[in-house]
A and B are shown apart, each in its own frame.
Chain A
Amino acid sequence: MNSNVVTLNKVQTLIVVGNGMVGHHCVEQLIERGALDHYRVHVFSEEPMRAYDRVHLSEYFSGRDAESLALSDMALYQRPGITLHLGVPILEIDRQRQEVITAEGCVAYDKLVLATGSYPFVPPIEGAEGDSRLVYRTLDDLDTIRNAAINARRGVVVGGGLLGLEAANALKTLGLEAHVVEFAPRLMPVQLDDQGGLALKARIESLGVGVHLSRATQSISAGEQYRYRMNFVDGEFLETDLIVFSAGIRPQDALARQCALELGPRGGVMIDQHCVTSDANIYAIGECAAWNGSIFGLVAPGYQMARSVAAQLCGETAEPFMGADMSTKLKLLGVDVGSIGDAQGATPGSRSYRLIDEASASYRRLVVDATGKYVLGAVLVGDNSYYDTLLQYMQNGIALPQEPASLILPSSEGAPTLGPAALPQAATICSCHNVTKGAICSAIDTGCTDLGLLKSQTKAATGCGGCAGLLKQVFEHELSARGVAVDKSLCEHFAYTRQELYALVRVEGVTTFEEMLAKHGRGHTGCDVCKPAVGSILASCWNQPIMDASLVPLQDTNDTFMANMQKNGTYSVVPRIPGGEITADKLIAIGVVAKKYDLYTKITGGQRIDLFGAQLHELPDIWAELIEAGFETGHAYGKSTRTVKSCVGSTWCRYGVQDSVQMALTIEDRYKGLRSPHKLKFAVSGCTRECAEAQSKDVGVIATENGWNLYICGNGGMRPRHAELFATDLDDDTLIRYIDRFLMFYIRTADKLQRTSVWRETLEGGLDYLKDVIINDSLGLGAELEGQMQLVVDRYECEWANALKDPEKLKRFRTFVNDKRPDPDIHFVQERGQRRPIMAAELNLIPVTEEVV
């Protein structure tokens, strides 16, 4: 605790009004700084739910429940010394008596923090009421919108700003035809310029959202095709079933008005640079506060104010609040949008570089000052990968490179990126917690040589986490600069990288974890990082059944039970369906099993069928029936070969030039069961139309007139990457030989949990080097890699068939080893004709029945 905290005779009372994101952050900061030793803290919230993540509110419609949006565990507010009053609005503040008045009575305060946030502004429009006057701010609002959307076909959002587009996304998620009506001539008028607005409009329209600009709504009347008709000033109209207003926010300053605190010229509680209002005992933070007349409607400046107030209340020196950078990057309806500093080039003498790509509706603008040396601002639509670098240039006044335009050119042009060395000491690395490069360097200078420790000491990368990559780079660069060897140890038990461990296993023929730990590790037992990593290497090299006694304790739970654990502790089961080809009898067999065990059934992206909701003790019975019907395990649970997707190819398709199904079967049969640093996905397309989407796979094969083209290192998922063309017009044997070599080389050299796409990007020498090794055999490894692959192929055995033959292995598949009952805490509800896990919010609706023992 801080030593300069005033010694207090009595514990003071601190009241925080509002439990939104900023109010909550303030409470967290207070607790962390030891405020509970000096204050009894009362938090009042008008809403019935404790602080939740408003930034991701639209996810409430895509499956997240209220509880998962909460910003903290309930336990935070259950500590002694802190009381959270939910659903209790403050009615009045009596500054004379230093009391707040609620429906439940009065509470006296010594210090008070207003964090009441803002409310949506709804312009006065004739006829706007009920479902034609919805707003989008609280969970309550969202429930109202959800109800209004039942039986609705079309929804309109009034307001094309940041929140309006979020709301449009929410309507779209609810399955409505969404429209956005904006008063200004462009979308996001505050953050974007005209060209940026145009690009965003094009992108959003291509997603099926209607965009109507320069439209002022005059009145709302009954519609003909839909419930309502919006009549615009220019005589045009638009019909809709519901209307959500998102035309801006207003500071919630009603309490401040009531108790006669001074307000800003355009509303909001006036504060000084210490967030103190005109009453020295009252602070205001977040969107209800006006500093220098301005309201800051983003979460970062709100957090900045919250930190400042928490520090002051704990007797620490706080940085003054002197305004905030309103730069922001977001994903709206899946479209990247970034706005930095003077995005519209309003500074006199400023000049701009612009990149307009009408083909992909991308737009980038770089605004530089009159001297052409410094970045003033930027606009990004379509690709935010430029954001971090541009922000660093702007915030830290870094001199522009020779060709400033290179900063916004497509990255294949080799734009200079800003390395950690180029950043000045004042550069902000983590903007959530305001950690500079200087602060990181001084932490390292005082002996911090562990990244985890650095994070907990400086708080860097513990907010939104967006700076984690940059932090790691700076950390490693600074350590190297100080002559400290960067510790790339796997964990506390092994001071080796995965690649080094792989080499040791191969060279010394190590076959067990214990042997590895004794020879090359330290300590006892291992941990949940090194055990699966070494287990995976052992399997890649020697391919022994993973259920063998010495290997079982190494596996992560999914490998141990050979099924994928889902969030309620049940498993999903995926039988292998090679190449996505399946007979009617086998389809029926899957159906019979699914029906018998009441499993939720879904077709996967890899042309297989996933069966959800099996309990542990049911797995052996389910697999016995599947194996009886001719299935094998699909390895969906392992870091291993998953699927080989295929199109029907020349057998059926009038365009097909090769038999893609046969090739898919050959590939899947060869590599099934192969363990690797991460999962492996394959696809084979029968012609250049590429229906199997092979260019998004780790290994993609596309038929040509003369044979096969091989593509490698593609990826879908979070960071999509197009596979690269590796070799052309290969015959069957050469194709398989190259894939053998490629996969084994990847397994030998990749890092733990590194997909082929990331591995390829970090590979020195790039694609040319890889071609040299695989095709030209420049390292002389070809035969060795093929031999290693052949060993794995020869030792293949269906793990489930193996386990079912062994009573010792089956022992593990019991929910309770002393009782036959299933887990009584697993509940399902019916949805769309199948069962799904119950959500936490629904649990109290379940009638509780006594279990008969």
Chain B
Amino acid sequence: MSQSNAERIHTEVASNIWRAVCGREDLVDNSGVVVWLEGVQVALFYLPEAAEGSTLYAIDNHDPLSGANVIGRGLVGNLKGDMVIASPIYKQHFRLKDGSCLEFPEQRLRVWPVRLNGQHVEVGGFSAAPQG
């Protein structure tokens, strides 16, 4: 992975603070893992050979339809040019880049900026001080 790709950012950064959440070795190629970040469950998808080059996405792990925290265990796909994740329970699809749902416009998942910094995976948009 080249350095420029490593710093790819998918969403406007709401805050300049990047939080290290896990190591690069924790990621699974072409699939998802979940991190715990200040009470929020964030699913990370690592696609080393996506159409637009090596890519990392951070998206909400909570599936609004089933109410279970399972998005990180869904199947990655590409539908009509968009990278999507299919919920493992009812199989609806969410666009990884903005969290929008293909089937139900009212369901939208949160997404966060995410990058690889050396061997660390960093998520942006969270405040600096951990709460609680």
- Residues of chain A at the chain B interface (Cβ within 8 Å): 73, 75-76, 492-493, 523-529, 531-532, 549, 552-553, 555-558, 560-561, 565, 567-569, 616, 811-812, 814-819, 821, 823, 825-826, 840, 850-851, 853
B34: chain A residues within 8 A (beta carbon): 814-817
Most buried by B among A553, A569, A850: A569
Known: A569-B68, A811-B26, A819-B36. A853 touches B132 (CB 8 A): yes
Most buried by A among B31, B62, B74, B130: B31
B91: chain A residues within 8 A (beta carbon): 528
Per-residue CB contact flags for chain B residues 67-89 toward chain A (1 = under 8 Å, else 0) read 11110011111111001101011
In whole Å, how far is A616's beta carbon from the nearest beta carbon of chain B?
A: 8
- Is B66 at the interface (CB under 8 A from chain A)? yes
- Is B14 at the interface (CB under 8 A from chain A)? no
B33: chain A residues within 8 A (beta carbon): 812, 814, 817
A526 CA to B66 CA, complexed, in Å: 25
- Which partner residue on chain A sits nearest B20 by CB separation? A818
Interface of B is mostly: strand
16 new A-B contacts, CB < 8 A, other than A73-B104, A569-B73, A818-B36, are: A493-B78, A524-B50, A527-B78, A527-B84, A552-B30, A568-B68, A812-B28, A812-B33, A816-B41, A817-B22, A817-B33, A818-B35, A821-B36, A825-B68, A840-B67, A853-B132
A558 CA to B73 CA, complexed, in Å: 9
Task: For B78, give its contact among A525, A569, A818, A851 (CB under 8 Å).
Answer: A525
| Chain B: interface size category | 35 or more
B35: chain A residues within 8 A (beta carbon): 816-819
In whole Å, how far is A654's beta carbon from the nearest beta carbon of chain B?
A: 48
- Is B6 at the interface (CB under 8 A from chain A)? no
- Is B106 at the interface (CB under 8 A from chain A)? yes
Cβ B132 vs Cβ A531 within 8 A:
no
Q: What are 17 A-B contacts with C-beta separation under 8 Å?
A: A523-B78, A525-B30, A525-B77, A527-B75, A527-B78, A528-B91, A531-B77, A552-B31, A555-B75, A557-B74, A565-B73, A568-B66, A569-B69, A816-B36, A817-B35, A818-B36, A825-B62
- Is B17 at the interface (CB under 8 A from chain A)? no
Interface of A is mostly: loop
Cβ B28 vs Cβ A527 within 8 A:
no
- Is B128 at the interface (CB under 8 A from chain A)? no
Known: A817-B22, A818-B21. A525 touches B47 (CB 8 A): yes
A814 CA to B35 CA, complexed, in Å: 9
Task: For A552, give its contact among B28, B47, B104 (CB under 8 Å).
Answer: B28
A696 CA to B104 CA, complexed, in Å: 38
| 6 A-B pairs with the lowest CB-CB distances in the bound complex, closest first | A527-B77, A569-B68, A557-B88, A553-B30, A528-B86, A525-B78
Known: A526-B78, A818-B21. A556 touches B88 (CB 8 A): yes
A811: chain B residues within 8 A (beta carbon): 26, 28
Task: For B76, give its contact among A553, A823, A853 (CB under 8 Å).
Answer: A553
A687 CA to B67 CA, complexed, in Å: 48
In whole Å, how far is B3's beta carbon from the nearest beta carbon of chain A?
A: 23
A528 CA to B84 CA, complexed, in Å: 9
Cβ B89 vs Cβ A549 within 8 A:
no
